[in-house]
Homo-oligomer: A and B are copies of this chain.
Amino acid sequence: MGKIYEYNVLRVDLTNEEIKREKIAGEKVKNFLGGRGLGSKILYDEIDPTIDAFSPENKLIYAAGLLTGTAASTGGRYMVITKGPLTGTIASSNSGGFFGAELRFSGNDIIIFEGKAEKPVYLSLKGDKAELKDASHLWGKGVYETTDVLIEEFGDEKARVSCIGPAGENLVKFASIMNEKDRAAGRTGVGAVMGSKNLKAVVVKAEEKQVEYFKDEMMKVVRKQTKTLKEHGVTGEGLPALGTKVLDNIINSHGAYPRNNFQYATFDKVDEVSGEALVEKGYLQGNKGCYGCPIRCGRDTKLPNGQQGEGPEYETGWAFGAQCGVSDLNAIVQANFLCNDLGMDTISAGVTIGCAMELYEKGYVDKEEFENGPELTFGSSESVTYYTRQMALREGFGDQMAEGSYRLAEAKGNAELSMSVKKQELPAYDPRGVQGHGLNYVTSNRGGCHVRGYMISPEVLGVPEKLDPQELKGKPEWVKLYQDLTAVIDSIGMCLFTSFALGLEDYAEIVNAGTEFDFTPEEILENGERIYNLERQFNLEAGITPAEDRLPDRFDDPLPDGTFRGISTKYREILPEYYELRGWQEDGYISDQKLSEMGLK
């Protein structure tokens, strides 16, 4: 009998060094599933959304998904949920690897960190034992070293470590939490909240697998879904061969590959930095897969100096590449490894560098501010590694950049040069070339983001069907569907990439096979909608008004190059329809009635 709908919660009071065990079951699990959904529900119920993200009143929630640690294909993901320091919205960030599954195995499905430790600590989960231990000797150390030292101290080389680096300790607004060294809960600055709590790491090793589920009943479905994943062009061929960097050439020829802080949408040097180049130039050593994953899109990469790590992902390669006008693959991979070791989101880091370059080139930043660092000019590969480090360490000009592109640009008197939504940096797709994706950007509950409604799939890749990227009709429905579906996937603990090949029915089927639930596809999607509304409501209560459902002014200017030359963003034309579809008020707020319907009030 599966007990998967009953969650074991570890409540860790860092201020008083008290650890309690609780359970969550019933409606909450049925309505919010796990991972992103359940974690958000806990956060919404337990904190005041108006508090400062770095105050001890904020909570940091690690949450395994409903199927995390089961036999489900790609079922190894966990989520970190908190109030975010970069956006002021609810923040949640998802990571793969093996840590999430191990957490589940250990019988700790959810961890709620509260308060603030007096001095650096880490949480050790060894079999049944949960202990806070001194981490003073690890403070200041990078992710790679911290991971090695903790595994050594733990005394079991199979232990899994999730930790922050110097960026998190230094409250860099977009610091990440890293596990297995190179896997990141990358976005929204969850690592900075962890740093603000003086919490360096969580180390876990189960003694016996404490996750119970209907394994035999699942296996038939898992085999079918694995076969589907293996046979699909994207999950069976493109991603295994080139990783997410299969996209460089695709998005560039589509005409939505931002260059020089989104001033252009094509990059003539894409061949020097593409996924293909990563192979041809000898950086790629092989593929890496996460727990239970048949896709294995991870890149095992090696620099000429022998340094090894994972990446770069498409977004990372672009952020340190075209976004900064840089075509030096070596520098890009180095910046990627630096972010992993220092614990920092690659997208926000790269976009902030590109923003600083435009600010400097336009005269908003004085050369003196660089002190003795290199000039931030587009194309300067040296700047990319140099300021990545400076940001994480908050040294020199990096201290200003560590606040993110919005606060940096605002301080320099030109906030509109920050390519962000709700102060979080945009990823690697110009919204003028993918109009539905633009609507997704402005309505994402965690600010500028591509993985909360990946409209690139239908608008560019033609999966599950090809949509005209400039057509507006029907886009609000698609965006809503993708957003709600993604909320489901993030909550059941599977990887978003499965959605290239699997559909809503598949997710309902695998959940039903492994648990006692018996969702229709519509019911499980309604859970997604509920989660989406909960997040939105958190943000509204936090003071993030619907006026922030907007793109920077730049996108109202026509694109100067590429396929969509002369075209501007059109999200405003479909935003009212989107609100309506969502059942929200015309002003973008959610009525009490809608909240009641969703069971949120």
Q: Which residues of A contact B (CB under 8 A)?
A: 166, 269, 303-307, 325-328, 330-331, 334, 338, 372-375, 377-383, 385-386, 389, 393, 395
Contacts and interface: CB of A to CB of B under 8 A. Distances in A.
B379 A304 contact: yes
A331 B381 contact: yes
A307 B306 CA distance: 29
* Chief secondary structure at chain A's binding surface: loop
B304 A328 contact: yes
7 contacts: A303-B379, A304-B327, A305-B381, A305-B383, A331-B382, A372-B395, A374-B389
Please state the number of chain copies in the assembly: 2
A166 B393 contact: no
Given A328-B304, A377-B305, A334 B166 contact: no
B269 A304 contact: yes
Given A328-B330, A330-B328, A372-B166, A307 B377 contact: yes
Nearest to A372: B393
Contacts of A305: 325-326, 377-381, 383
Given A166-B372, A330-B331, A334-B380, 4 more contacts: A303-B380, A304-B326, A304-B381, A385-B386
A326 B269 CA distance: 22
A269 B305 CA distance: 12
Closest 3 CB pairs of A and B: A305-B379, A305-B380, A304-B379
A589 to B, nearest CB: 46
Contacts of A375: 307
Nearest to A145: B367
Given A328-B330, A331-B330, A389-B372, A306 B379 contact: yes
A373 B334 CA distance: 13
Contacts of A330: 328, 330-331, 381
Contacts of A389: 372-374
B325 A304 contact: yes
A334 B382 contact: yes
Nearest to A390: B372
A573 to B, nearest CB: 38
Contacts of A331: 328, 330-331, 381-382
Contacts of A306: 377-379
Contacts of A338: 374, 382
A378 B306 CA distance: 8
Contacts of A378: 305-306
B381 A334 contact: yes
Contacts of A379: 303-307
Nearest to A392: B372
Nearest to A357: B305
A111 B23 CA distance: 86
Contact of A328 (B269, B328, B372): B328
A306 B381 CA distance: 11
Contacts of A325: 304-305
Contacts of A382: 331, 334, 338, 385
Contacts of A327: 304
A138 to B, nearest CB: 14
A304 to B, nearest CB: 4
A288 to B, nearest CB: 22
Nearest to A304: B379
A312 to B, nearest CB: 15
Contacts of A381: 303-305, 330-331, 334
Contacts of A307: 375, 377, 379-380
A531 to B, nearest CB: 39
A338 B382 CA distance: 10
Contacts of A334: 374, 380-382
Nearest to A324: B305
A318 B334 CA distance: 21
Nearest to A381: B330
A4 B379 CA distance: 49
Contacts of A385: 374, 382, 385-386
A334 B380 CA distance: 9
Nearest to A302: B379
Nearest to A393: B372
A180 B373 CA distance: 22
A391 to B, nearest CB: 12
Contacts of A326: 304-305
A285 to B, nearest CB: 15
Nearest to A379: B305
Nearest to A328: B330
A259 to B, nearest CB: 12
A378 to B, nearest CB: 6
A328 B272 CA distance: 13
A328 B381 CA distance: 11
A306 B383 CA distance: 13
Nearest to A383: B305
A533 to B, nearest CB: 43
A325 to B, nearest CB: 7
Contacts of A303: 379-381
